Structure 1
Amino acid sequence: MSGESRAKGLSGTLYGIGVGPGDPELLTMKAHRILGEVPVLAVPTSYADAGSMALEVLRPLLAQRERAGRAPDIVSLLFPMTRDPDVLADARRKNAEVLLGALSRGDAAFVALGDILFYSTFGNLLSGLFPLAPDLRVEVVPGITAYAAGVAKLVEPLTQGSERLGVLPAVYAPEEIEKALDLFEVVVFMKINKVFPAVREILSRRGLLDRTAYISSVGMAGERIERRLDRVAPDEVPYMSLLVVRKNGWMPR
């Protein structure tokens, strides 16, 4: 699987792999093949000694590799949960140096939940790598997003016909929520635990509570999916939660 990189001094390819929302069975066949062979596995963490949710998805595969005597070296890369530009720049530099060291010896894979290029730490990692190794060989393996997996559990189409889709990240002001609901027929609000009361109030005022699905920890322990938002209390909303709003409503049941 390894090949000669165009980046000087690097013999390996970096694989960016989305491992899906949490269910190991949603790992793509290509991801499974590469992760079954790659010698170094890099995982993101938000603080030192923290666990990795992406790594938990891979436990069955890693157990197989360990039994076969082919366990990969696992490297944790720190991505601090802060907006301080100096802290982020320092972490970006350190992560790049660690990964380039691994790539000087062979292939490495960086894994993250969901899709690897959809609100993922992989973009942050690449922004630190390319200035140091502009010809670094990178291969991306997409993964299933949490909202796609959640809508599949609902057995509902995400969009139909000419409906427009908007996706908002975790940090948004009330006016941005209102604007998104004005512009799009379908809106996905990602990681809404900290802003849930504000989002719920706006949706209630617009009469959209029964047209909003709540999706939490999809594919993981504690998974919860509700077709109506009025069934969810604010103190029940964990970090890995999102909302899917269909202004035109769900299919009649």
Structure 2
Amino acid sequence: MPDVRRMKTKLVLVGEGGVGKTSLVRRFVLNEYQDTYLQTVGTRVSKIELTIPHGADTEVQMDMAIFDIMGQKGFRDLVRETYYHGAGALMAVCDLTQKDSLSALDEWIPPALEITGDVPLYLVVNKKDMEVQRAISDEEIHRAAETFAAPYILTSALTGEFVEDVFNALAIEMVNRAFRQEDTRAAERSLRDKALVLLDKRGSVGLKKQQFFQILRGVKVDDLQAELDRLEREGLVTILWYGASDFAVTITPRGVKAVKQASTWEG
């Protein structure tokens, strides 16, 4: 059985109106395409559940919320804090038949990154099926992608070509990023955090004194005891003593909640 993790993610699409953001989302979520132009009024949110394998024995159950914003500058500036806050990735979309839609991304991407920070970003050039009306060269696309250090891909919401690929690529990158962040936190984790995470994994079985020292090599007895005493005073663990020097520790429901609040993953 694989180790199953759960995470909630927010993917935000940016770009001018009419480039096909809504059609891309519709194609990915519903596998449908509507030939008439549907202008997004305000913000449209779509949700989809994905299963993302990670390594040989882990899979991530992802609840992805996809935010599609109205492509007008005034509205963008009005809601940008709310719209971009908490985004785990960005998809910048332009229209292969509209040269200005590519240059307009210079006004969409930097403000978004100011709010989101350094998150995965893909440049998506939509309407690949309209090659005969092409207005953007490969060189221009490559140059724009280099500017933002972003991979790029040409898609067609009409035919579905490469639509699933780009959404899945961003989902995979968000998962990989979450694992990298977890590894970084683990390397920097304090004795307090290490003890809580270990106890959370052990559940009701808990850990005995000797087991702590087998896992947390190099930790001093007094330091461990002091930290466990603090955790018990905060109601995060329970210490059961066996005589004057031996003990076992289990995590409390409050402690489990504290671990989950500090984690990227959902419970």
TM range (shorter): under 0.3
Higher strand share: 2
Higher helix share: 2
Greater Rg over alpha carbons, structure:
2
TM-score (norm 1): 0.27
Larger RCO, structure (CA 8 Å, separation 6 or more): 1
